[in-house]
Amino acid sequence: MSLSSSAPLTCISRTIIGLPEGNPSEILLEIRSTSLLQKLIKMRINFKGAIMKSEILKKLESLALERTIPFCMSCYIKAPKGVCPCCHSDDLGRWMDGVGLDWCLNFAIEYILHEKFTPVDTEEAFEEMIRSCYSEETVVGWMIFDTCDLMKSQDPISWRVAQDEYIDELESEEEIMSFDNGSTYYWTYDLEGL
């Protein structure tokens, strides 16, 4: 059904597509502006999420800087003043006592995250969500099964696909965050307490 038609929509066609009374072109404009508004709201949420993530990352970086010291990889010595005392290079890595060393801070950030927070158990989070949506038990013939166990055992691929989609959705809604491209997730409300 084309909404661009200049002929007024009949009551029946309005009912079918769920439109209120009014000028079709105005209604169309309203629909367009509503979807545009929804897009803008979504963009705003994503933008706010990106800002939140970069702020959390900044905090993590400053914590990692506090906990590490500059290190000359060539001479294999600490260079706390930011210049190697031996070769005078300022091209330095970072050393973290008892943890390790690298050119960038990622290893220290990962260590701090593991030390402070419990990673999201994605399988458990998904199963909990499914259990809240469906009845605990499913009857097949005269047999009673645990619904989740039945689903997992009968179609593990579908279960895995749905779980991955759920985790993607949690991430896009900024409920969880990852700093290693999705290998480990943390709850955003935990990270906000950094």
What would you report as the CA-atom Rg of the chain, rounded to the nearest whole angstrom?
Answer: 27
Q: Which of residues 74 and 154 has its CB atom nearest to Zn ion in the complex? A: 74
Token look-up 């943390």 returns: 186
Q: C-beta of 168: minimal distance to Zn ion in Å?
A: 45
Euclidean distance between the first and the last CA atom of the chain, given in angstroms as a whole number: 54
Give the C-alpha separation, 121 to 18, whole Å: 42
Interaction of residue 69 with Zn ion, rule CB under 5 A:
no
x/- binding map, residues 128-167, to Zn ion, per CB under 5 A?
A: ----------------------------------------
Out of 9, 69, 84, 176, the residue judged to bind Zn ion by CB under 5 A: 84
Interaction of residue 9 with Zn ion, rule CB under 5 A:
no
* Span near Zn ion by CB under 5 A; candidates 12-20, 27-35, 68-76, 185-193: 68-76
Interaction of residue 90 with Zn ion, rule CB under 5 A:
no
Out of 3, 57, 75, 148, the residue judged to bind Zn ion by CB under 5 A: 75
* Span near Zn ion by CB under 5 A; candidates 6-14, 78-86, 170-178, 180-188: 78-86
Give the C-alpha separation, 81 to 46, whole Å: 40
Q: C-beta of 94: minimal distance to Zn ion in Å?
A: 14
Name the residue among 167, 171, 134 with its Cα closest to residue 152. 134
Instruction: Return the sign of the alpha-carbon dihedral for residues 9, 11, 13, 15.
Output: positive
Residue 57 identity: L
